[in-house]
Structure formats: C-alpha cells, structure tokens
A and B are shown apart, each in its own frame.
Chain A
C-alpha cells in the first residue's frame, strides 16, 4: 500500500525526522490560508500515486499566498497519468544547498533490509543507478540485529557526507530505520534529503510503501489508504477476497493460482496478439473457490465492457472441478452473461465437472481439453464477435 508524500512525511515526523512545516489543502482557499500562515515562498505539490508529477506540472513554486491559491486552483482536479489530483501539499520553500538520496528497502535476494544512500539525490534513483551506480552506497542490515552505529558511520563516510553533519545524519538514518521497521515498510525513501543554507538536514520529499501482508497489525496506516486511483472493480474484488487486475484486452480470465493465471493471460496473447486480442484481466480465485466466489468473480470480469469472451482455466489439485462447475452454473444463472464462455476443467474430479457443465446445456459454452485449446478457442470466439 502506497502512502502519499504528505502521509509519508507526517509518518517520518512521528519518528523524529525533520520535515518542512507544510499542510494539506483540498481547495484553493485552504491553500491560500496555509500559504498565508507559512509566509514567504511556498511550494504547491500534487498528492497523487504516480511518479513524474513535477514534469506533468503538478509541482509549482508560489511567491505569495495569492499565487499559491492560483497554483492550487490549477493543480487540484488536474489529471496526471490518469489520476485526478484531489489534494495538494503546501510546503514552505527550502533553501537547498545539496540534495541527498536516502532509502531503506527489502533486498529480496539477500532477505535483508537494504540501505541506499547517495550525495547525488533529487533525481530518480533508477536513473542514477543506471548512469552512476558507484554514486550509491549500499549497506545491508542483519534483520535480527537491526541497524548498528558502525554501519551509520560507514554509510556517512562512504557517501562523502560532511563530517559536521554525521551526528544529525545518524539520527535521521536511525529514525528512518525505526520508521521502516515499525511500519512494516517495503520502502521508506527520502528524496531529496537536503542540506539547507543554514547547514541543517531536511526531508523535503518522502515515499513510503507498506507491505500489504502486514496491514493487519498497522491499523493507523491502513486507515490512510487512498483508493481513488484504483478501478472500482479492483476494490470490489479485494472486498470479495479475489485478486483482480484490470487489463486492456477482450478475454476475461478466471483461473486458480497466480502463476497459472498469468500463464493463461500469456496464452491468450500468444494466440491472439496478431489479431489485437489479449487478456482483459488477471484473476486468481484462489484455492477454495466457493460458488459465491466464482459468481462474484464472474460479475467483476463482466463489469468490464471490453470483455467479449470469458475463459475459465481451472487445474483442480485441492480445488475440486465438480465444485467449480457448480459454482460456474450458479454464477451463470445469477449473472446471465451474453458472451461466450470457454471452460476448461482439468485435474481433480474433472470428468464430473465437465459432465455437470455439459448436462446444463447452456448456450455459448465452449469446452476445451488443454490450456492451449482453451486459449485458441477463446481467441476464435472473440474474432467471431468482432
């Protein structure tokens, strides 16, 4: 779960990190009041879950409250990469002498927290990593021991941090590590951490991503979830306990298991790409797949108007194909889809499942033995209807 910049920085503040004294506005007059209260130059920053908002015109400097109000009026409601800006952060302008990058993330390969630090902050870290990988200091932390003082000294020294700032940098790094651990973050990033004209460190921008699997013990953070950028269908699926991701193709896919769900999507593209046909979604109904879940999943798939065919690919291991077949019939009677459905049931109780489907004599149902056959038939069904 991604936090907005303002949520990330307010979280940093709870861990003792220095951040600008800004506030959030949802309309231009609020922006005016905040800018007036802060006094002097302010920055008006769009709060949306996409990168590159600066280039898109979502970050503007204002000399006074009047100008802040005008900028807020133009940024609020703006569309940035498909997301509508609903909030702006009004921060006091900072006197920036140097921009630093500092982040803690999970190193999957090592199975350890990884600290990345560079005196060349401000730019996108992926770009910096491509162009000047040596400019980034990397230090892994033993997850049982936690971050040690000697590691902080190593990082400050290796990155070339001015010695006068080692103590305050150490406090920030240790606060960021505490924040990362206590919040179950996948990423806690300050970019840039700036050295101001007065020689102080200040976290000017922040980004935090929380591990979805840990939200059960992060009630305060869970409340901050902003679902406005998410399609309704994905939200409904999450509420129903189904993993669904909307894509651009025409073949709705219902599959058990994430790896097989991706594979089924790939097969529709493999056989359909030449005709511009591909998957309409990723959907994993999981292991149990009760009739209610199958019905919910079918409704979600069909809520996408692009869907011209639904492909069921179920490999029953623990999941029993006869139960899934009953689920499909329940869902069919409830939802009454007018698109063809290709049904491929394989594995545990497949024969029973297939006879339940064929005995129901539903129009537009197409059977298939193998995954290949199923994908090809779904592609053919879409071609026929377009």
Chain B
C-alpha cells in the first residue's frame, strides 16, 4: 500500500515534448510508471517514445483513460495547464513548474477545488511510491520500499534524507513533495492525514522550512489527530528575517515563520525534531 499513487496510476505528461517533460517522462517509464501519453498544443498526432501526443487534455483523457497528470510546462502557461487537466476530469494533478505567479495559482487552486481535483505543488519534485511508480523528478536511487511516509517542502533535501534512510536500511511507503511556494494545492496536514489512514505507513518523516505557518498547523494536527510517530527537520535556522531563501515561500516575515517557532511547535506536539537531517534515520529506527 501507499498513498496517492501506486502502479495502477495512468499518467499523462503535460509538456511531454519539452526538454524537461521529455527527460523526466522517460525516467518515469524506466521506473515502471504507466505513462499513457502526453499533451503539447500543436503537436497532436506525434509520438514520444511510443506514447501518443495530444493537442488537448480532453482528447488525451478521452483516448487514454488516464487518471493522473504531471504538469511540466513553463511558468507562464502552467496555471492554465493545471486548470485544463482539472477541466478534463483528472483528479490528481502534480505540478513541477517553478516561478508561477501567485495570482495565477490562487485561481488555479480555486478551480481545482471546484472540480474536486487534488493538486500537488507547484514547484515540487512530485510523488514516488518506491518499487511501484513515480510521478515527477525524484531520483530512483534515493528510496527503497518500506513503511515510512515522507512529506517535504523541498526537493534535494528530500533526496538527502531518503538516501540517508536507505543507507540505514529504512524503506519508504510514499514520498510526497508538496512544494515550497506560498500557495500550494496539498498541505502537510492533507498528507499527514493520508499517511495516518494508510495501513502500510507506520511512521512519518516531515521536512519543513522557514516561511508561512504550514508546520505550525501540521504540529496541531500531529498533536490532536495522529497516532503514528513523526520525525521532523525544519530548514532555515540560520536564515535571517526579511530575506527570501530561494523558494518563493521561504521567508521569515514580521516575526512569523521562523525555524525556532516551528521546531518548538513540532516538539510540543510530540514529534522528534532533528537538528541535522542525517539524524532522521536514527529518530525513525
């Protein structure tokens, strides 16, 4: 078992003929993901690695019966691509694209909610259920199948922790990269709830960072609703206030969103918080 995706997922890649989209579509297929095809407006009728390319999501969904979509198109077109997927009836959309304007994301997210579509991201590495499927860019080498759920705001930090877990013989049920943008489709709490209800997930690793209050809200959920143990790390203890640390959402503003307050809240909720991400495997053992 796993959450959100498993080997039965049929995936469309929006932007499959692009450099990024094509590269990752191939890696996903090598991993065993069922990539049903892709969409690039104006390239309908072409083929990509033996998979059909369509002009529109409606046509792609009608033809392939896909149920998951991966958005890899450039920032200025990404919100529209998300809405197109939701409008075509896709219930799980993962958006990798970075630098999407917040105003576009607010509209896309409101639209997804109206259509009953779950959005993961944007600006995230995607999902991976080790041994079954991956949708996104998480490298195959960072995880083996197991019983720890991983949820994270950041890409390479997730790889770092996954790799450390693998070296300690700890496997993963599903990795969910929720993204580091201010406005995202799926939050820590959404994913914690899925892990809490997943029989195969026994423990959870949560990787947060400065900015916003998602980790504080997650701490509340851990305290009030979670029975499974949580190990956590919060990046950005050394970050000064008022400076945006790469991710559009990673900024300590007006005294809010600091690593200290998040760590305190998570500890108070009973999570074991590592000062060093390489200590996470020890906290899960």
A257 within 8 A of B: yes
Contact B210 A211 (CB under 8 A): no
B43 within 8 A of A: no
Interface 0/1 of A340-377, CB less than 8 Å to B? 00000011100000000000000000000011100000
Nearest-Cβ distance from residue A182 to partner chain B, whole angstroms: 10
Q: Which segment, of A65-73, A89-97, A106-114, faces chain B?
A: A106-114
Q: Could you say which residues of chain B place their CB within 8 Å of the CB of A172?
A: none
Q: Could you say which residues of chain A place their CB within 8 Å of the CB of B245?
A: 245, 258, 261-262, 282
Nearest-Cβ distance from residue B107 to partner chain A, whole angstroms: 5
Q: Could you say which residues of chain B place their CB within 8 Å of the CB of A252?
A: none
Q: Could you say which residues of chain A place their CB within 8 Å of the CB of B111?
A: 144
Contact B76 A216 (CB under 8 A): yes
Give the docked Cα–Cα distance between A318 and B156 (Å). 10
A267 with B106: in contact, given A262-B239, A347-B159 (CB under 8 Å)?
Answer: no
Contact A317 B180 (CB under 8 A): no
Q: Could you say which residues of chain A place their CB within 8 Å of the CB of B154?
A: 257-260
Give the docked Cα–Cα distance between A217 and B137 (Å). 28
Give the docked Cα–Cα distance between A105 and B266 (Å). 27
A262 with B209: in contact, given A126-B255, A213-B99, A270-B275 (CB under 8 Å)?
Answer: yes
Which residues of B from 237 to 285 have beta carbons under 8 Å from A? 237-240, 243-250, 254-255, 259, 275-278
Q: Could you say which residues of chain A place their CB within 8 Å of the CB of B163?
A: 315, 346-347
A282 with B239: in contact, given A184-B101, A257-B155, A371-B277 (CB under 8 Å)?
Answer: yes
Give the docked Cα–Cα distance between A243 and B155 (Å). 16
Interface 0/1 of A108-128, CB less than 8 Å to B? 110111000000000000100
A259 with B156: in contact, given A143-B110, A372-B278 (CB under 8 Å)?
Answer: yes
Contact B109 A111 (CB under 8 A): yes
Nearest-Cβ distance from residue B153 to partner chain A, whole angstroms: 6
Which residues of A from 180 to 215 have beta carbons under 8 Å from B? 181, 184, 186, 211-214
B88 within 8 A of A: no
Give the docked Cα–Cα distance between A187 and B110 (Å). 20
Q: Could you say which residues of chain A place their CB within 8 Å of the CB of B106?
A: 106, 111-113, 143
Contact A260 B156 (CB under 8 A): yes
B29 within 8 A of A: no
Give the docked Cα–Cα distance between A109 and B188 (Å). 11
A260 with B237: in contact, given A143-B107, A213-B248 (CB under 8 Å)?
Answer: no
Nearest-Cβ distance from residue B230 to partner chain A, whole angstroms: 18
Nearest-Cβ distance from residue A87 to partner chain B, whole angstroms: 22
A260 with B160: in contact, given A278-B238, A279-B238, A282-B245 (CB under 8 Å)?
Answer: yes
Closest A residue by C-beta to B277: A263
Closest B residue by C-beta to A145: B110
Closest A residue by C-beta to B99: A213
Contact B160 A258 (CB under 8 A): no
Nearest-Cβ distance from residue B174 to partner chain A, whole angstroms: 17
Give the docked Cα–Cα distance between A59 and B29 (Å). 63
Interface 0/1 of B112-133, CB less than 8 Å to A? 0000000000000100000000
Nearest-Cβ distance from residue A86 to partner chain B, whole angstroms: 21
Contact B277 A112 (CB under 8 A): no
Q: A348 contacts which of B107, B141, B277 (Cβ < 8 Å)?
A: B141
Contact A111 B110 (CB under 8 A): yes
B65 within 8 A of A: no
A79 within 8 A of B: no
Q: Could you say which residues of chain B place their CB within 8 Å of the CB of A257?
A: 154-157, 246
Interface 0/1 of A263-306, CB less than 8 Å to B? 10111111000000011001010000000000000000000000
Nearest-Cβ distance from residue A290 to partner chain B, whole angstroms: 14
Nearest-Cβ distance from residue A323 to partner chain B, whole angstroms: 14
B236 within 8 A of A: yes
A174 within 8 A of B: no
Q: B246 contacts which of A109, A142, A268, A284 (Cβ < 8 Å)?
A: A284
Nearest-Cβ distance from residue A231 to partner chain B, whole angstroms: 11
B152 within 8 A of A: yes
Nearest-Cβ distance from residue B199 to partner chain A, whole angstroms: 29
Q: Could you say which residues of chain A place their CB within 8 Å of the CB of B159?
A: 315, 317, 347
Contact A106 B182 (CB under 8 A): yes
A247 within 8 A of B: yes
Nearest-Cβ distance from residue B84 to partner chain A, whole angstroms: 15
A256 within 8 A of B: yes
Give the docked Cα–Cα distance between A279 and B239 (Å). 9
Contact A259 B247 (CB under 8 A): yes
Contact A259 B153 (CB under 8 A): yes
Contact A268 B238 (CB under 8 A): yes
Q: B212 contacts which of A109, A144, A255, A260 (Cβ < 8 Å)?
A: A109
14 pairs, CB–CB < 8 Å, chain A vs chain B: A108-B213, A111-B110, A181-B103, A186-B102, A247-B238, A259-B158, A262-B239, A269-B237, A270-B237, A270-B276, A282-B239, A315-B163, A347-B141, A371-B160
With A245-B243, A259-B154, A346-B163 given, can you name 12 additional A-B contacts, CB distance below 8 Å?
A106-B182, A108-B183, A184-B101, A184-B102, A212-B248, A217-B76, A259-B153, A259-B155, A263-B235, A266-B235, A317-B156, A371-B160
CB-CB nearest 8 A-B residue pairs: A259-B154, A258-B246, A257-B156, A214-B101, A259-B157, A317-B139, A143-B106, A260-B156
